[in-house]
Structure 1
Amino acid sequence: MGRMDGVKSYIKGLNLVEQTSYQPRKSRKYKSEIYEWVKALFFAVILALLIRAFVFVPFVVDGSSMVPTLEDTNRLIVNKLIYRINSPGPGDVIVFHATKEQDYIKRIIATAGQTVAVRGDKLYINGRIKDEPYLRASKEQAKADGFVLTEDFGPVRVPEGTVFVMGDNRRNSTDSRVIGPVRVDSIVGKAEVIVWPFHKFRMIH
């Protein structure tokens, strides 16, 4: 009996050692998993902040100056990186710092060195008629209603380091016809896509 009792005590001791050594290993594994998740979350947040700061930024349209292309409260994604690679070009829809407190969204009509004018609801760039496909329906509607979409102005030569912008809602837009050409270094970025309302999700042209 003594021998059996000794064997049982030995086995019990082994089980106790196994249990006490298993618990710390399990605890260390659990802590390691938590650390990995925290680290992954930290880097995800940093990446999101970097993307927001240097690549993309959300923007909410305020007002009707870009109707019919954009409507009030549309939510957009603005590409901040693109003009570090390419120059702003005619047709681009851009967001820029109009004042220290407010950003505007308008369409680039002409760039530095170009001459812009409107005669008889037709846009002239360097003396040549420039088609504006994004305004065809608006121009037809204006003509049917007995008025022009864009009042005559110009010619205006666009200074170096600036772009000439107008809203697509030409009869209700505070743009370069009022505030003058926009400095390129005040441009936040190019409006790329409408993300909300979701049923109007599309690229901006």
Structure 2
Amino acid sequence: MRVLWQTAKTIAVVTILSIVVREFLFTNYIVYGQSMMPTIHDGERIIVDKIGYELMEPDRFDLIIFHADEDSDYIKRIIGLPGDELYYEDDTLYVNGAPVEEDFLEETRGGASTEVFTDDFTLENLTNEHTVPEDHVFVLGDNRKNSIDSRQIGFVPMEEIVGRANMTFWPPQNIRFFK
């Protein structure tokens, strides 16, 4: 009887710790779709850092998981922060009037390809807003031609952000950390 009681207590403690870690510290996600290729591939598993992300200021180019709707979470890259005026022209991102390099897109673009990768747009054309509103971000997938992102769904409220993607851990040959 004593062994049974010790086992039950151990199982209870492990269960409670697992719930706390998953709800408040880290969780894992399986990526579905090709919108973040080649950065993240369909079927890869990622670890998401939830520690205080809702209290932190997000950084441009963070890879975030957010609740897109009641049934779906998306992973995308933050392009625009609150107060930013941004637009694309001739395949170049402009933030507050200055061009911004997106080095992470080089592999996706295929090097010296002359094909337009990100179609021209302005925030005003897409959202009727001149700047990214307070407490919101503007996100894009790295696979710009095959991504449902802020160009279609609008700004992402910060309270819908689950956390920042830190690394892929499955399959093992694809283990890598994100900046």
With normalisation by structure 1, the TM-score equals 0.79
Which structure shows the bigger proportion of residues in helix conformation? 1
Equivalent residue number for residue 118 of structure 2: 150
Equivalent residue number for residue 66 of structure 1: 36
SS at the partner of 1:136?
helix
Equivalent residue number for residue 125 of structure 1: 95
Aligned length: 173
- C-alpha distance in 2 between matches for 1:137 and 1:48: 37
- 4+ runs of 1 displaced by more than 2 Å? 31-38, 137-141
Aligned partner of 2:98: which letter? R
Equivalent residue number for residue 66 of structure 2: 96
- C-alpha distance in 1 between matches for 2:60 and 2:164: 12
Residue ranges of structure 2 left out of the alignment (5+ in a row):
125-130
SS at the partner of 2:40?
coil
CA-to-aligned-CA distance 1:112-153 (integer Å, 9 cap, x gap): 100111111111110111111111222344x52x41111111
Bigger relative contact order, structure 1 or 2 (CA pairs below 8 A, ≥6 apart):
2
Equivalent residue number for residue 12 of structure 2: 42
- C-alpha distance in 2 between matches for 1:84 and 1:161: 10
Aligned partner of 1:193: which letter? M
Q: Please say if residues 82 and 190 of structure 1, whose CA atoms lie closer than 8 Å, have aligned partners that are also in contact.
A: no
- C-alpha distance in 2 between matches for 1:55 and 1:162: 22
Residue ranges of structure 1 left out of the alignment (5+ in a row):
1-30
> What displacement does 1:72 show?
0.3
> What displacement does 1:178 show?
1.2
1:130-141 equivalences under 5 Å are: 130-141=100-111
1:1-205 equivalences under 5 Å are: 31-141=1-111, 143-144=112-113, 146-156=114-124, 157-205=131-179
> What displacement does 1:109 show?
0.4
- C-alpha distance in 2 between matches for 1:155 and 1:100: 25
> What displacement does 1:85 show?
3.9
Q: Percent identity?
A: 39
Q: Which has the larger radius of gyration?
A: 1
- C-alpha distance in 1 between matches for 2:108 and 2:163: 26
